[in-house]
Amino acid sequence: MRKGITNMKQYWKQVLSILLAMLMLSSLLLSCAEQPDDNKGETTTADSSGKSEETTDGAQDSLPQLDFKGAEVNIIGYLESDLAPKTTDSADVLADAMYNRDRYVEERLNVKIIGHLIDDYDALNTSVDNAVTGGADTYQVAYAQMVFGTSALAMKGRLMNLYDLQYYNSSSPWWDKNVDRAFQIGDTLYMTAGDILPANMMISACIAFNKKKMTDSGMEFPYQMAKNGEWTIDQMIAMTKDRTKDLNGDGDMSTDDDFYGFVSWHLDSPFNFFYGSGCTVFTKDEDNMPVFSANAQKIEDVYSKVYELFITNESYYEKDVAVHDKPFEVFTDGRALFAALSLSTVSRTEFKDMSDKFGVLPQPKYEVSDEYLSFVNGSADMVCVPMSVNDADMVGATLEALGSASYSMVTDVLREKVCKAKNVNDEESAEMVDIIFRHRVYDFGYVHFFPLGHSAAIMFQTALDKGSSSVGTLVSRCNDRALKKNLEEFLKSYSKK
């Protein structure tokens, strides 16, 4: 088992290096994005009456007037795009928004925010671990990796329960409620996310579609369908049926020459469709503790649709991480109708330079009555607080202020990064991005069992990789001795906190 975990960690290092490259490439788009409206991002500052601050859309944080006497707030992170720059750059509108956000919070609370970039999430874990075990208040906030960072640090007792922070308000609109639903254990929460982390927001599942090819095929754009809550897997199956074509007529489908109705790769799409359809293998009991409760029939029913979309409709599903970019190359070459990806991928330079215009949609639902759910994969970073902090009140206030300011000053700019590219630039995609940002989903089982390679986390991926028409056997294996033992060990480690 230990060898398997080590290999999985090496695999995730490779994935994270890919993500970092994506984020660096996507940052090139920012110079082409429109500057946000002058009124966007304004906040009403607290007056002498001590009233809370109010964002432009009326959302109000609960912070009173506070003065922390110039104290330092040291934030360590491994994704540069989630740490505000030290200087402004008028060509980089998102970086400027984050810079202004930090300066605003510094003035409001009388603190000094200092970012520390570390290029490896394992090294970040070690830095936090060493600080806590040594009793050093080195870092007050950490943006740790979701799968191998926050969970591992929490299980070792290195993180504070965020619910114990006086000024942290998890019900505020700038904190993602689905984080609490997934990761609250009993009365504890050791990680959170939301508008404060732009890179995390961008690691949200979505679907891109080629507008020109859709028009050429006589189909209407699915925007209205999505607005009406009718964008489902069945609709995507119907729209991709018989769309894969052998363009060069050689009798073989080639990713270099031919056209596909749908393209994706195996580290994204199986999870996007599993969690985007509301599937999970864990729920919470009355004490907010995770319990195994896989709905085997629903999982099998969802997979039957996924199988039809991926296999029956002859999609291009790439399994080799070494050529993970190939599906996106096919799409940006204009040789695919749909692509499954994340918002961070949509913002890359090759999408900006794509000849055909494209649109953005949320992950399709399983049924019309469901809500849209955009999965946040394990490449994402999460906010956590080391146990060794001396002034928890300052940390809680700073996080709440950063979240509030991000909600009003940063997220609009982030949305424009996706929607104002020359080949997107439509109001409908902006509405779709809003749906994606506010309907994200995380999963306890994915975070805690994916590193073990357990079928509870990877059943759709395993089945699609093999071309299997059913996941029944994989579902039946989920609640096995290994899962029960690991869940027991996990809960035992949390009970010691």
Query: Strand pairing of 374-375 and 440-441?
Result: parallel
**Cα–Cα distance measured from residue 13 to residue 121, given in angstroms and rounded to the nearest whole number:** 8
pTM for the full predicted model: 0.88
Residue 423 φ then ψ, to 5°: -105, 15
Rg (CA), the chain: 22
108, 51 in Cβ contact below 8 A? Answer: no
Nearest to 450 by CA among 45, 8, 105: 8
CA distances from 485 to 255, 479, 480, 481, 494 (A): 43, 10, 9, 6, 14
SS3 call for 250: coil
Nearest to 221 by CA among 365, 371, 337: 337
**Cα–Cα distance measured from residue 480 to residue 478, given in angstroms and rounded to the nearest whole number:** 6
Query: Strand pairing of 374-375 and 381-384?
Result: unpaired
* Cα atoms in the 13 Å half-sphere on the side-chain side of 63: 32
Q: What is the pLDDT of residue 58?
A: 41
Residue range 407-422: mean pLDDT, rounded: 83
Angle, CA 324 vertex, CA 439 and CA 452 arms, to 5°: 70
The answer on pLDDT for 462 being more than 70 is yes
**Cα–Cα distance measured from residue 283 to residue 53, given in angstroms and rounded to the nearest whole number:** 36
CA distances from 232 to 54, 237, 427 (A): 37, 9, 21
- In tens, the pLDDT along 42-77 reads 333 333 333 345 544 445 788 999 999 999 999 999
Range in 7-16, 313-322, 402-411 with the lowest mean pLDDT: 7-16
SS3 call for 252: coil
Q: Is 413 exposed, middle or buried (0-12, 13-18, 19+ CB in 10 A)?
A: buried
- In tens, the pLDDT along 183-196 reads 999 999 999 999 99
Residue range 430-444: mean pLDDT, rounded: 93
Task: Say which DSSP state 452 is in.
Answer: G
- In tens, the pLDDT along 104-156 reads 999 999 999 999 999 888 999 999 999 999 999 999 999 999 988 998 899 89
**Cα–Cα distance measured from residue 493 to residue 497, given in angstroms and rounded to the nearest whole number:** 7
**Cα–Cα distance measured from residue 285 to residue 298, given in angstroms and rounded to the nearest whole number:** 20
Task: Say which DSSP state 363 is in.
Answer: P
Structure tokens belonging to residue 412: 């609009």
If residue 215 lies in a helix (H) or strand (E), which one and from where to where?
helix 211-216
CA distances from 34 to 93, 98, 180, 422 (A): 8, 16, 34, 10
Confidence of residue 27 (pLDDT cuts 50, 70, 90): very low
Question: Token pair 């399994």 is at which residue?
Answer: 319
Neighbouring C-beta atoms of residue 74, cutoff 10 Å: 18
Cβ-Cβ contacts under 8 Å for 143 (sequence gap 6 or more)? 75, 76, 77, 78, 79, 82, 83, 197, 381, 382, 383, 384
SS3 call for 275: helix
Structure tokens belonging to residue 494: 């949390």
Residue 375 φ then ψ, to 5°: -70, 140
**Cα–Cα distance measured from residue 183 to residue 219, given in angstroms and rounded to the nearest whole number:** 41
The answer on pLDDT for 41 being more than 50 is no
